[in-house]
Structure 1
Amino acid sequence: MNTLVWVLVGVFAYSFVAFFLKSRGILPSSVRVQGPLTTLHTKRGRDFLNWLAGPKRFWRAWSNIGVGITLVVMIGTFALLLFQGLSILQNPPAPTQVNQPRNFLVIPGVNDFLPLSVAPEIVFGLLVGLVVHEGGHGLLCRVEGIDIESMGLVFLTVIPVGAFVEPDEESQRAADRGGRTRMFAAGVTNNFAVTVVAFALLFGPVIGAVGVAPGMAVQGTFDGSPASAAGIGSGDRILSVAGENVSTEGELDAVLSATDDRTVEARVDRGGGPTTVSVDRQLVVVGSVGGNPANLTVSNDDDPITVSAVNGTQVFTRAGFQAAAGDSTMARLSTSRGVVTIPIGAYITQVAPDGPLAEAGAPTNGTLIVTGFDGERVTSSTDLNTLLDGTDPGQEVEVRARVDGNEEVYAVTLGENPRDGNGFLGVNIFPGTSGLVLTDFGARSYPAGTYLSLLGGEGGASPVNVVDSPLGLVYVALILPLASVILGIPNFPGFTPTVTNFYVVQGPLSALGDGVFVLANLLFWTAWINLQLGLFNCIPGYPLDGGRILRTGTEAVVSRLPVESPHALVRTVTTSIGLVMLASLVLLIFGPTLLN
């Protein structure tokens, strides 16, 4: 059974036991149970809130700032949810991993983007968020003279999912409208304040104390690959191969391409110091595109596909593959699934209809494999990309290609690549050779330096250019758990034990050792959770804080209008907006699944 099923079984079992204890009168009066929800009530802490509420002028000024921020965010969330709801209703997007209903739950192990390894940090951030949120409500209750019936925590089974402050209803109604508004906005204000403080500490001294360790960080290895057979795996760092130091996947490929040795020595650090392993190289197909001329499909359920010979010559490496293929555009491959004869070149998955290659007469559909470019032989996507990097916009080149089995030649005037300003062919290129991704090593790199750069540290190139501003850093930190969808790199759950070997602690905080990673994780997830709590509670719908502020604001406006039934009008406005928000949320969560 999957994780979600186990969670549901656990929730049902807890509900049954809780109902049994409640029916027998075993639970104390401070504990109340309703299904899987349990609330713990207490009157303790009211004296502390009375003391803390002493500087009333300061707290009112603080909450007035929060009211302004909350109103701006309320309007933004209303507009965003309304726009998203209408967009989904008019043009339902296809269900993807991102819009699966379970991924709207902040539950590690259930949410695909929140692994169980970060559960302690998320729970910590959630507890901090709940305490400061409800503590803000309780504090402003005392500042505004509103009595408190009780305070406590809300648990979904044994997981804290909320906190509450129960103001005295009569006392709350007696308070002025401005006081109630400040009280409702206090929780959101505190969540945003915690977010700012946590991000400031994270982006400042903590990330400044983290550097990238030498070597190529290994995210993982392909099943059946030589690296996997040699014991290299996730969390390792490859320091050198064949006597040459490497720090990136590109450097590793360059070293491997420069030698045709069947066996190479690799120095690997698994966290306990360097060790040397021998890697027996073998050509393995680790990826494929549908419709490739070899008609090979890579599947996790099947045995690895190996390539043992090209044109009758035994090969073990990509360098040997290219040498055996020679200048001929066709080659005979001996694979573990049989012998095939295919064109050797860069496989084009899409030709842009208005791109330079299409304008030169190339078809926009069918199988197209580029075998030559500007007089140079092309055997792989790497060859074609390297040649394109050396061209300029407007340059005229000759492109040779196999199109549905026929040899074609096109005279192409290159356009301008918007990414780097080089020549542009107007095509999408599948990595590898002829629609097959071949490797003679099989280690995949982890972008350790990229993550550090995205968090404001010194780690190398960044895929986005917004990290130079504080707001840009916050935006990047928020999307890192979904990096595979938005940035095209693996999701970043934090400095978990599987990746700490890729980093070193330096500077004044080096005395903390690995404690820096623990601190970074706590700050990252505390900021992330508190921002989510603040934004969610700003939605203008009851019983969220945004809905309560909407009511007090509507009352303030309606009180100045010449209407006979102001309470009815207030109820109509707030209920209508609340229902619109509810419908928008339902469409956002369930729309892609239900409407397709």
Structure 2
Amino acid sequence: MNPLLWVLGGVLLYSVIALSLQSRGLLPSSVRLQGPLTTIHTKRGRAFLNWLAGPKRFWRAYSNVGVGVALVVMVGSFFLFLQAAIATVQSPQVTQVNQPRNFLVIPGVNDFLPLSMAPEIVLGLLVGLVVHEGGHGLLCRVEDIDIESMGVVLLTILPIGAFVEPNEESQRKADRGGRTRMFAAGVTNNFVVTIVAFALLFGPVVGAIGVAPGVAVAGAYDGTPAAEADIGGGDRITAVAGMPVSNDSTFDDALASTPDRAVDVEVNGERTVQVERSLVVVGSVQGNPAGITVQQDADPVRVLAVNGTEVYTQAAFEDAVADRPLARIETTEGERVVPVGAYAVEVAPDGPLAEAGAPENASVVVTGFGGERVTSRADLTRLLDGTAPGDTVEVQAYTEGSLSTYTVTLGTNEQDGNGLLGVLGLAQGTSGLVLSDFGIQSYPAATYLALLGGDVGSDLSGIQLSGVLDSFLGLAYVALILPLASVFGLPYNFPGFTPEVVNFYVVQGPLAVLGGGVFVLANVLFWTAWINLQLGLFNCIPGYPLDGGRIMRACVEAVVSRLPVNDPRPIVRTITTSIGVTMLAALVLMVFGPQLLS
């Protein structure tokens, strides 16, 4: 059942029970209900705020900085929302990011907020709400605005807000600058908490975390040797056939150097399992020469033999096709005669290979390059890395049913400066098929730790985000998008050190005495910073009743009051309402537009 339906059912049940208790007078006067929303009011804490508000000049200066930050964010959010809404109308695309449920900060309902992180997310939310509303309460007292009550807002039992209820008459008597500082104090506190939490995370906490030796396993493909040996997500492979492995490269080398079909594998440095290897197709590209499609929940497709020779490892497969650009491959789905090489979806029009005579827009399998045999994308990529623009090479390729040799003058690859062949959609693996004699999906533990500021020496050259890690703001930006990391080219989203990935890391240095508590602390800081920034940004949206809308109204009043008009209120109302309605329409388009317009 859809988790969102469970949530809606729970909200309805809570509302019925709570309203029934209220109608019978069983709830205290401090608890007030509005459907599923519950507000808890208290007058406690006002004496503490009075004491804290003592250095008024400091707090006013502090809040003046916050007003400036809020104004910048308000203007930026207005144009960002407009741009996003226009883009949605022009090209409505339904993605995982713009699913309506993913705009809710509810772990287990939001695809990017796992249920395992619920305690840390709720704690971060509570911190954000307390410091936000505490900022409003503090500045109320700094500006001599009386407070009627304070409290929290619950959606059933989930805290979703907090409030400070100023005395209306006292608020009207305060000057415009005082009210503006009071409205900006909440988002200012949220931004300060974000900075402090990220500083602690990027400094001592992440510095105390290292990558555990071995190959981190994100999961095993169904029906593969690893899955049959009960190796799965969260495991670490630490040795193969008695040879220690520290990363993917040493793991591949150990497998390749072991010809035996059955191989002993050490997992987590604790247990040893025997893996009976077989060659399985774990991925496929549509239109591949073999016509094989890997389907979820279907029986795995196995490669049994090449040209009559039995194969059960990748090394044996590569040996069997080493001198055969065209091979007869026997699989569990039947026999196929296919060109074996690096498969590309099409020859680029006007590219170097097309200029050498290859048919434009046709699919192609590159089987040889510069006199060397090419059996996979990895082979072709490795050979191209050793070329320069303008080099002339002999390229053997299978296209439109025939094998041909082309003399190609390489172009320039703008990304790395190497030679460019001129093919599009170069698929992973061999002939559009990804083969594995083991069947695991590795987890880039070192990459994620490096993106959080950890010094692990991970190569980030192929990642879009690698260039922004040299500054605090860059690290903060990367940390904020890590829960949505798959959108930015990384294989998995990273919502923190979840139970599924903790085994891939070790605690080191002075904080090692905390043991697993370091991961808890890292998660708390990560989500506290993430949620506080979201709260601050959201409340800066220039729409009533958000803080941004109130600050905008004060600013508009300040400008209009200088105009030669008798009654400025209609003008202020028109401007603020227009901006608020525009922001609301943009937000509705962003949330529901892709589903309605696509």
| Coarse TM-score class (shorter-chain normalised) | over 0.9
- Kindly report which structure 2 residues correspond to 1:173-192, keeping only aligned pairs within 5 A, or say none: 173-192=172-191
Change (3 A) 1:363 1:245: farther
User: Is the contact made by 2:347 and 2:363 (CA closer than 8 Å) also made in structure 1?
Assistant: no
Corresponding residue for 1:390? 386
Residue by residue over 1:163-190, the C-alpha shift from the partner in whole angstroms, topping out at 9 and shown as x without a partner, is 0111111111110000000000000000
The yes-or-no answer on 1:239 pairing with 2:241 is no
Gap regions ≥5 residues in structure 1: none
Name which of structure 1's ranges 481-490 and 566-575 shifts more when overlaid on structure 2: 481-490
Name which of structure 1's ranges 302-311 and 127-136 shifts more when overlaid on structure 2: 302-311
User: Is the contact made by 1:259 and 1:319 (CA closer than 8 Å) also made in structure 2?
Assistant: no
Corresponding residue for 1:586? 588
User: Is the contact made by 1:248 and 1:445 (CA closer than 8 Å) also made in structure 2?
Assistant: no
Corresponding residue for 1:16? 16
Corresponding residue for 2:208? 209
Residue 318 of structure 1 deviates from its aligned partner by 1.1
- Whole-angstrom distance in 1 between the partners of 2:145 and 2:329: 81
The yes-or-no answer on 1:331 pairing with 2:330 is no
Residue by residue over 1:381-435, the C-alpha shift from the partner in whole angstroms, topping out at 9 and shown as x without a partner, is 1211121122122111121111132223222211232333222223331111111
Instruction: Give the letter for the 2:78 counterpart.
Output: F
Give the secondary structure class of the aligned counterpart of 2:574. Answer: helix
- Whole-angstrom distance in 1 between the partners of 2:37 and 2:355: 64
Residue 16 of structure 1 deviates from its aligned partner by 1.5
Indicate the percent of aligned positions where both proteins have the same amino acid.
69
Corresponding residue for 1:112? 111
Corresponding residue for 1:492? 494
Corresponding residue for 2:469? 467
- Whole-angstrom distance in 2 between the partners of 1:23 and 1:345: 75
Equivalent residue for 2:575, pick from 564, 567, 573: 573
Instruction: Give the letter for the 2:459 counterpart.
Output: A
The aligned length equals 592
- Kindly report which structure 2 residues correspond to 1:334-349, keeping only aligned pairs within 5 A, or say none: 334-349=330-345
Corresponding residue for 1:7? 7
User: Is the contact made by 1:249 and 1:444 (CA closer than 8 Å) also made in structure 2?
Assistant: no
- Whole-angstrom distance in 2 between the partners of 1:72 and 1:302: 53
Gap regions ≥5 residues in structure 2: none
- Kindly report which structure 2 residues correspond to 1:285-296, keeping only aligned pairs within 5 A, or say none: 285-296=281-292
Corresponding residue for 1:435? 432
The yes-or-no answer on 1:352 pairing with 2:354 is no
The yes-or-no answer on 1:452 pairing with 2:445 is no
Instruction: Give the letter for the 1:576 counterpart.
Output: S
- Whole-angstrom distance in 1 between the partners of 2:252 and 2:418: 23
- Whole-angstrom distance in 1 between the partners of 2:330 and 2:83: 55
- Whole-angstrom distance in 2 between the partners of 1:245 and 1:465: 33
Instruction: Give the letter for the 2:514 counterpart.
Output: L
- Kindly report which structure 2 residues correspond to 1:127-526, keeping only aligned pairs within 5 A, or say none: 127-269=126-268, 273-427=269-423, 428-459=425-456, 460-462=458-460, 463=463, 464-526=466-528
- Whole-angstrom distance in 2 between the partners of 1:422 and 1:259: 34
User: Is the contact made by 2:132 and 2:186 (CA closer than 8 Å) also made in structure 1?
Assistant: yes
Residue 275 of structure 1 deviates from its aligned partner by 2.2
Corresponding residue for 1:77? 77
- Whole-angstrom distance in 1 between the partners of 2:557 and 2:527: 37
Instruction: Give the letter for the 2:87 counterpart.
Output: S
User: Is the contact made by 2:322 and 2:375 (CA closer than 8 Å) also made in structure 1?
Assistant: no
Residue 497 of structure 1 deviates from its aligned partner by 1.6
User: Is the contact made by 1:391 and 1:423 (CA closer than 8 Å) also made in structure 2?
Assistant: yes
- Whole-angstrom distance in 1 between the partners of 2:485 and 2:229: 30
User: Is the contact made by 1:453 and 1:461 (CA closer than 8 Å) also made in structure 2?
Assistant: no
Residue by residue over 1:365-393, the C-alpha shift from the partner in whole angstroms, topping out at 9 and shown as x without a partner, is 33311111111111111211121122122
User: Is the contact made by 1:449 and 1:458 (CA closer than 8 Å) also made in structure 2?
Assistant: no
Residue 563 of structure 1 deviates from its aligned partner by 1.4
Give the secondary structure class of the aligned counterpart of 1:195. Answer: helix
Residue by residue over 1:29-55, the C-alpha shift from the partner in whole angstroms, topping out at 9 and shown as x without a partner, is 111111111111111111111111111
- Kindly report which structure 2 residues correspond to 1:11-50, keeping only aligned pairs within 5 A, or say none: 11-50=11-50
Give the secondary structure class of the aligned counterpart of 1:194. Answer: helix
Change (3 A) 1:247 1:349: farther
- Whole-angstrom distance in 2 between the partners of 1:585 and 1:55: 40
Instruction: Give the letter for the 2:406 counterpart.
Output: Y
Residue by residue over 1:100-123, the C-alpha shift from the partner in whole angstroms, topping out at 9 and shown as x without a partner, is 111111111111111111111110
Instruction: Give the letter for the 1:210 counterpart.
Output: I
Instruction: Give the letter for the 1:594 counterpart.
Output: L
Instruction: Give the letter for the 1:515 counterpart.
Output: G
Residue by residue over 1:518-561, the C-alpha shift from the partner in whole angstroms, topping out at 9 and shown as x without a partner, is 00000000000000000011010001100000000110011110
Name which of structure 1's ranges 273-282 and 137-146 shifts more when overlaid on structure 2: 273-282
Residue 500 of structure 1 deviates from its aligned partner by 1.2
Residue 569 of structure 1 deviates from its aligned partner by 0.3
Give the secondary structure class of the aligned counterpart of 2:467. Answer: coil
- Whole-angstrom distance in 2 between the partners of 1:189 and 1:350: 53
Give the secondary structure class of the aligned counterpart of 1:465. Answer: helix
User: Is the contact made by 1:223 and 1:304 (CA closer than 8 Å) also made in structure 2?
Assistant: yes
Residue 326 of structure 1 deviates from its aligned partner by 4.0
- TM-score in terms of structure 1 length: 0.97
User: Is the contact made by 1:11 and 1:157 (CA closer than 8 Å) also made in structure 2?
Assistant: yes
- Whole-angstrom distance in 1 between the partners of 2:362 and 2:50: 75
Instruction: Give the letter for the 2:267 counterpart.
Output: V
Change (3 A) 1:350 1:258: farther
Change (3 A) 1:42 1:246: same
User: Is the contact made by 2:265 and 2:274 (CA closer than 8 Å) also made in structure 1?
Assistant: yes
User: Is the contact made by 1:294 and 1:342 (CA closer than 8 Å) also made in structure 2?
Assistant: yes
- Whole-angstrom distance in 2 between the partners of 1:240 and 1:423: 38
Name which of structure 1's ranges 473-482 and 320-329 shifts more when overlaid on structure 2: 320-329
Residue by residue over 1:81-116, the C-alpha shift from the partner in whole angstroms, topping out at 9 and shown as x without a partner, is 112222222x12311111111111111111111111
User: Is the contact made by 1:206 and 1:520 (CA closer than 8 Å) also made in structure 2?
Assistant: yes
Residue 214 of structure 1 deviates from its aligned partner by 0.9
Change (3 A) 1:360 1:36: farther
Instruction: Give the letter for the 2:28 counterpart.
Output: P
Instruction: Give the letter for the 1:516 counterpart.
Output: V
- Whole-angstrom distance in 2 between the partners of 1:467 and 1:317: 40
Change (3 A) 1:361 1:17: farther
Instruction: Give the letter for the 1:394 counterpart.
Output: G
Instruction: Give the letter for the 2:376 counterpart.
Output: S
User: Is the contact made by 1:92 and 1:591 (CA closer than 8 Å) also made in structure 2?
Assistant: no
